Amino acid sequence: MSKTNVYQAPHITPSEAMAQRLRDEAAVEPDPVPTGQAAKETQIIAIYGKGGIGKSFTLANLSYMMAQQGKRVLLIGCDPKSDTTSLLFGGKACPTIIETSARKKEAGEEVDISDVCFKRDGVFAMELGGPEVGRGCGGRGIIHGFELLEKLGFHSWGFDYVLLDFLGDVVCGGFGLPIARDMCQKVIVVGSNDLQSLYVANNVCSAVEYFRKLGGNVGVAGMVINKDDGTGEAAAFADAVNIPVLAAIPADEDIRRKSANYQIVGKPDSQWGSLFEELAGQVADAPPKHPTPLDQDGLLALFSAEETGGNFVLEPASMADMCGGEVITKPSLEVVYENV
């Protein structure tokens, strides 16, 4: 009597099954991020700048000062480094939305607001987070994070200000969400008196103008100059692109030392309190403006030619240069068909 072969599926472990579900989910395009009006008159402001230029320092102290002025403030870090809130929380890292969501999903649980949002002296803060290097797209993580915020009721929360911290030198789509999808009313750029930070600030201005031409409404409220050494290039840039300077934070050793030790300097009774009080007022009142971005030569013109190499003249290369000597013309392999 012949035997019938019965196929048996290989055993799949729970971790393998979870990994497959995550791969399947990653293959699905995300839903559009909701852009409806908040339940109350909330100013949603996106702060952009070059990595390491001082956005997190500026936002931690700005949000703290706003809260001391009686405002309800939510600070959301949208940087994969997840360092926006570290100064606010004395160097402690808070769980990110991305990692918390993955952990809860694996356990079959829902994310609660208390899992991801934390507070200090009236400031509410959270980090979206992002993947480790080589393990995913940071921009996609941003999109996923905002989708989860919507599920947690983002548009029904009652804040006076929501401050979003975004990298300006990462150009993939997720980092441009606030500008591209009108998720904020205005943008603030943080820069310094160096070419690279102003290059990033100019790119942000270009993005704002690009999406305004497509029907967007986001404008640039102004610029915060951080680590200002008085050389004036950042102020000249702001004037050239037609945006105001909201504050100039000096390159001061006291600020550097206290920030390195995770201390808030923007307290009402501190040495730097008046600076951040003025910045809080400027951020609240500055209207969104149409910037006029510069071209590369315009950016270089803000600096002396001795510093930037601005007097360099481009010398075209020849084919002989590329071949390292004489160019030998070879017969073409192209087949030419005569008209029949």
**Residue of 50, 186, 227, 289 marked active site:** 50
Distance CA 97, CA 127 (A): 6
Contact 87, 258 (CB under 8 A): no
**Would you call 213 a catalytic residue per the annotation?**
no
Query: 3-class SS at 246?
Result: strand
**Would you call 50 a catalytic residue per the annotation?**
yes
| φ/ψ of residue 85, rounded to 5 | -95, -5
- List, in sequence order, every residue forming a beta bridge with 228; answer none if it has no partner: 250
**Would you call 104 a catalytic residue per the annotation?**
no
**Residue of 71, 81, 105, 258 marked active site:** 81
Strand 73-77 and strand 161-167: pairing?
parallel
Q: Is 301 exposed, middle or buried (0-12, 13-18, 19+ CB in 10 A)?
A: middle
**Residue of 83, 160, 169, 252 marked active site:** 169
Listed in sequence order, the residues at least 6 apart from 200 whose beta carbon sits closer than 8 Å to its beta carbon are: 48, 49, 50, 53, 168, 169, 189, 191
| φ/ψ of residue 335, rounded to 5 | -90, 125
Strand 118-120 and strand 123-127: pairing?
antiparallel
Residue with the two structure tokens 């941003």? 142
**Would you call 55 a catalytic residue per the annotation?**
yes
Half-sphere exposure at residue 273, Cβ-oriented, CA atoms within 13 angstroms: 8
Q: DSSP assignment, residue 193?
A: S
**Residue of 55, 186, 227, 289 marked active site:** 55
Query: 3-class SS at 76?
Result: strand
Query: 3-class SS at 274?
Result: helix
Q: Which two tokens stand for residue 180?
A: 């591209």
Give the catalytic positions in this structure.
50, 55, 81, 169
